[in-house]
Amino acid sequence: MYKLSNVIVKPLQNFKYVKPVVMEYVLNGKRKTWNMLAVHKAVCILLYNSTREVMIFVKQFRPAVYINKIPEGDRVGVIDTEKYPINLGITIELCAGIVDKNVSLQQLAVEEIEEECNYKVSPNKLEKIITYRSEVTKLGSVQHLFYCEVTDEMKLNSAPQEEDLEVVEMSLSEVKEFISQRDCCTTPILLFSVIWFFNNKYKK
Ligand SMILES: O=c1ccn([C@@H]2O[C@H](COP(=O)(O)OP(=O)(O)O[C@H]3O[C@H](CO)[C@@H](O)[C@H](O)[C@H]3O)[C@@H](O)[C@H]2O)c(=O)[nH]1
């Protein structure tokens, strides 16, 4: 499904998705500067299908993960995709999306669940777990984590709207195995939410 080619890495000139800024300030009498990226807020959803007792995640190619697997000397210009194949940048993540509309967080989460994972849920099915800050050194962005239980009856028959990601279902034993890996290509919030699930929702 994933095919990677024509990869070129160069300094960013037009800032569309991130805004690099520098903050100058005085802290405890000392002048300081801090480089950072201003980014969107986001919602993330841990999806659990209770009909088949599986968790639903999304698998996708993340350029930033890919580039960080390449030694610094090889990270500029044309990247050799034979030497550095696409699987270096494939992650498993929670269903998620940026906050780019003036609607409730629950409504945004519902839309992401439908677009990415093909389930129709109503906003009152969303259970808020926590609001946290991601990557506090360079981003500090506000992210909201929700839990949502779905059933097979809520699954839509239409084709998924997101072409560049793949829905992945894992049984609970597969999830335990996944998060027990010594090198796990995922996000801290997926790891946290899974532990939260086993502590709060599935005490078998
Ligand atoms: O340089 C970029 C950056 C983003 N996008 C597009 O912009 C949209 C939003 O991208 P992104 O910020 O990666 O959103 P998500 O995939 O929804 O990622 C969410 O979920 C992640 C955790 O899984 C969090 O780390 C992110 O902060 C959060 O926005 C997507 O359509 C991307 O394809 C680009 O095309 N080019």
87-135 residue pLDDT tens: 999 999 999 999 999 999 999 999 999 999 999 999 999 999 999 999 9
How far away, in angstroms, is 17 Cα from ligand 1 center? Answer: 9
How far away, in angstroms, is 204 Cα from ligand 1 center? Answer: 35
Candidate of 91, 98, 99, 184 to mutate for ligand 1, largest count of ligand atoms within 8 Å of Cβ: 98
How far away, in angstroms, is 15 Cα from ligand 1 center? Answer: 14
What is the per-residue pLDDT for 95? 98
For residues 148 and 43, the answer to whether their CB atoms sit within 8 Å is: no
Question: Scanning the structure block, which residue is given the tokens 């998620």?
Answer: 96
What is the per-residue pLDDT for 136? 94
Closest ligand 1 atom to residue 164 Cα is 33
Looking at the chain, the whole-number percentage of residues with pLDDT higher than 70 is 99
Q: Phi and psi at residue 198, in whole multiples of 5°? A: -65, -30
pLDDT tens per residue, range 166-182: 999 999 999 999 999 99
Report how far residue 185's alpha carbon sits from residue 91's, in angstroms, rounded to the nearest whole number.
5
For residues 20 and 37, the answer to whether their CB atoms sit within 8 Å is: yes
Looking at the chain, the whole-number percentage of residues with pLDDT higher than 90 is 84
Helix-helix angle 188-200:172-179, to 10 degrees = 130
Residue 1 has pLDDT above 70, yes or no: no
The protein residue whose alpha carbon is closest to atom 15 in ligand 1 is 97
Residue 204 has pLDDT above 70, yes or no: no
The protein residue whose alpha carbon is closest to atom 5 in ligand 1 is 17
Among the listed residues 91, 86, 89, 95, the one whose alpha carbon sits nearest the alpha carbon of residue 59: 91
What is the per-residue pLDDT for 12? 85
Q: Three-class SS of residue 182?
A: coil
What is the per-residue pLDDT for 158? 80
Q: Which residues line ligand 1 (CB under 6 A)?
A: 17, 42, 44, 93-94, 96-98, 134, 187
Report how far residue 88's alpha carbon sits from residue 75's, in angstroms, rounded to the nearest whole number.
13
Structural tokens at position 61: 């190619």
Average pLDDT over residues 18-41: 93
How far away, in angstroms, is 203 Cα from ligand 1 center? Answer: 33
CA R_g for the chain: 19
Candidate of 17, 58, 93 to mutate for ligand 1, largest count of ligand atoms within 8 Å of Cβ: 17
Q: DSSP code of 112? A: H
What is the per-residue pLDDT for 2? 78
Q: What distances in angstroms separate CA 4 from CA 1, 7, 98, one per listed residue?
A: 10, 8, 25
Report how far residue 113's alpha carbon sits from residue 156's, in angstroms, rounded to the nearest whole number.
11
pLDDT tens per residue, range 100-110: 999 999 999 99
pLDDT tens per residue, range 60-83: 999 999 999 999 999 889 999 999
Q: How confident is the model at residue 159 (pLDDT cuts 50, 70, 90)?
A: confident
Could you tell me how many residues make up the chain? 204
Among the listed residues 28, 12, 8, the one whose alpha carbon sits nearest the alpha carbon of residue 20: 12
Residue 17 has pLDDT above 70, yes or no: yes
Residue 195 has pLDDT above 80, yes or no: yes
